[in-house]
């Protein structure tokens, strides 16, 4: 699963608009990878909970 914050140019344009220091491309890629891992964990937990809830509802 690939999760992206957008092209580095878009991220840097946003940071420039907010008057925040730019991020090196290497560091940006590391942040994207960590965000992707977090999103994957949350979506998996959410899917599991939805499946369990559906099962419980069906058994009632």
Amino acid 55: pLDDT = 94
The pLDDT assigned to 56 comes to: 93
Return the pLDDT at 1: 41
Alpha carbons within 13 angstroms on the beta-carbon side of residue 26 total 0
Q: Residue 17 and residue 15: Cα distance in Å, rounded? A: 5
Asked if residues 40 and 7 have their Cβ atoms less than 8 Å apart, the reply is: no
Residue 56 CA to residue 60 CA, distance in Å, equals 6
The two structure tokens encoding residue 1: 């699963």
pLDDT at 20: 73
In order along the chain (60 residues), what is the average pLDDT of each group of 10 residues? 56 74 78 86 93 92
Say what the pTM is.
Answer: 0.49
Token code pair at residue 7: 């092209």
What's the pLDDT at 3? 46
């Amino acid at each position: 699963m690939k999760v992206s914050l957008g092209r580095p140019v878009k991220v840097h344009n946003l940071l420039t608009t907010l008057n925040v220091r730019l991020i090196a491309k290497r560091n940006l890629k590391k942040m994207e990878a960590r965000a992707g891992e977090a999103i994957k964990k949350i979506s998996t937990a959410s899917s599991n909970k939805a499946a369990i809830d559906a099962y419980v509802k069906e058994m009632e």
